[in-house]
Amino acid sequence: MLPSLLSTFADLILFMGLSWAIWRALGRSVPIAVLPIIIGLLLAATGVLPKAAGIPSAGGDFIGWIGVLLLAFTAGLETRQTVHLPGAADLPPARPGETLRFVASAVMALLLPFAVGTLAAKLWFNHLPGWAAPHGGPWWGALAIGLCLAVSALPVLIGIVRELGPLHRPLTRIALRIAVLDDAVLWIGLALLLAAEGQALLAGSWVKPAAAIALAATLAGIAAVARKATREPPVWAIWFAMPLFLAAGAWSSSQLGLHELLGAYFAGAIVPAAWSRRLPVERLGQFALIGLAPVFFGHSGLKIDGSVLGWASLQASATLLVLAVGAKLVAVLACSPAKWLSRREALAVGTLLQCKGLMEIVAATILRDKGLLSEHAFAALVTLAVLSTLLTGPAFRWIVRRVAPMENTNGRPASH
């Protein structure tokens, strides 16, 4: 067994260095965020990584865990602060009717994939060998799969949109605004699902849960006072407060029987807007996504039981992909987020929204850790996340290349 330091170094080289090298070799045509997962899945399926390498290492686990906590925290910041999204600065104020239409479309884009995924899991997937959830009844496992199918990946989608550039900004901006709502609902839905299944506030000593509730209330109180304050604190004080918010939120949610990532997300979501506007949220998110979290996602793929990765798993993943993509596209066609969108432009927006990215893997990891997903379901959902993310950019470009340049009736430019 290699010494722990060398194992950690080999871990970083494998999941960060190799991912970056492949990304550059492919001309940055593949989202770098999915490459560590693919590497982990391939290693798990082939079993070629010797145990003597000490991978996954304890040091790599720690670095990856810090990265995914920071990723969840910055996702909370970006969910509330749409100023950080590409093109937000030139976004005109929406009219009341447009807002109602947009919210209805966002709700439809969540509910339809959730309903389709839940019913498909209950009626078919959960009856496959090894798919039954270890804890809870069949409906809880079905709801968990449905929630994963409804996810839109905000952090990875932001990166894809930046790669697409400003040419298609009217469409990508709509998709990002919907993804903001989807991301918030995802984390709220995760919390409610775990709580309703009975995994929150578990029986036992009431001291730590009470302390966690008190700490969470204190964070919310500090944020509320800061929002009403006439003077803003110095930047150094905001930087000092951020890790405290992150650590307090993660600890509080863990003591309530939920998951640390839920607390990290909600801690970021309650940070006052005046504070987050003075932080480089985009760079923090990119650092977490590319600089630390790849080890976590590589380990997620590597820790999957190689015996569950096979033709049956790939078939299940392909079926889930068809359901997830089809439901998103039908949702935006049935309830378009903007009146001026053509059907093809609505399809382009739906193609962006079907991106599962890393948020689905984070959600699936939480649900697997809590026993609401089996190893077979987890492997299929991780594969689904990779496939949907790889599909997003090429499918969007293919659709918009067939959208004729035009000026819509409201004077808003159409994508071309």
Give the model confidence (pLDDT) of 226-278 as tens digits. Answer: 878 778 888 888 898 899 999 988 888 877 766 777 788 888 888 887 888 88
Coil, strand or helix at 410: coil
Q: Are 214 and 248 in contact (CB under 8 A)?
A: no
CATH code of 58's domain:
1.20.1530.20
Q: Which two tokens stand for residue 401?
A: 């290349």
Number of domains composing the chain: 1
Tens digit of each residue's pLDDT (9 = 90 or more) over 311-333 = 777 888 888 889 988 998 999 88
Q: Pick the residue with more confidence: 28 or 68?
A: 68
Confidence at residue 116, expressed as pLDDT on a 0 to 100 scale: 92
Q: Which amino acid is at 396?
A: F
Phi-psi label, residue 129: left if phi above 0, alpha if psi -120 to 50, beta otherwise: beta
| 350, pLDDT greater than 80 | yes
- Tell me which residue range forms the domain holding 64: 4-400
Domain contains 413: no
Task: Supply 206's token pair.
Answer: 């009431």
pLDDT greater than 60 at residue 415: no
Q: What is the pLDDT of residue 170?
A: 73
Would 411 be classed as within a structural domain?
no
| Ramachandran area for residue 73 (φ above 0: left; ψ -120 to 50: alpha; else beta) | alpha
Highest mean pLDDT among 1-10, 74-83, 356-365: 356-365
Length of the chain equals 416
- 290: in domain: yes
Q: Is the pLDDT confidence value at 292 over 70?
A: yes
Average pLDDT, the chain: 78
- 393 vs 414: CA distance, rounded Å: 19
Q: Kindly state the DSSP code that residue 413 receives in the 8-state scheme.
A: B
The pLDDT of residue 201 is 46
Rounded to an integer, the average pLDDT of 365-390 is 85
What is the pLDDT at residue 379?
85
**In the prediction, which pLDDT does 199 show?**
56
| Predicted local distance difference test score (pLDDT) of residue 258 | 67
CA proximity to 76, closest of 293, 276, 363: 276
pLDDT at position 40 over 50? yes
**pLDDT value at position 206?**
67
In a domain, 409, yes or no: no
Task: State the pLDDT at residue 91.
Answer: 46
In this structure, is residue 341 part of a structural domain?
A: yes
pLDDT at 306: 67
* Residue-wise pLDDT tens digits, 190-230: 778 877 766 554 445 667 778 888 888 888 888 888 878 77
Kindly state whether residue 415 falls inside one of the protein's structural domains: no
Strand partners, 407: 413
Q: Name the residue with tokens 């790849």.
A: 294
Report d(CA 101, CA 105) in Å as an integer.
6
pLDDT, tens digit, 9 for 90 and up, residues 87-139: 444 444 455 556 788 888 888 888 899 999 999 988 888 888 888 888 777 88
pLDDT band at 416 (very low <50, low <70, confident <90, very high): very low
Query: At 402, is the pLDDT very low, low, confident or very high (cuts 50, 70, 90)?
Result: low
Instruction: Output the pLDDT for position 119.
Output: 93
Answer whether residue 230 is part of any domain: yes
102 domain-assigned: yes
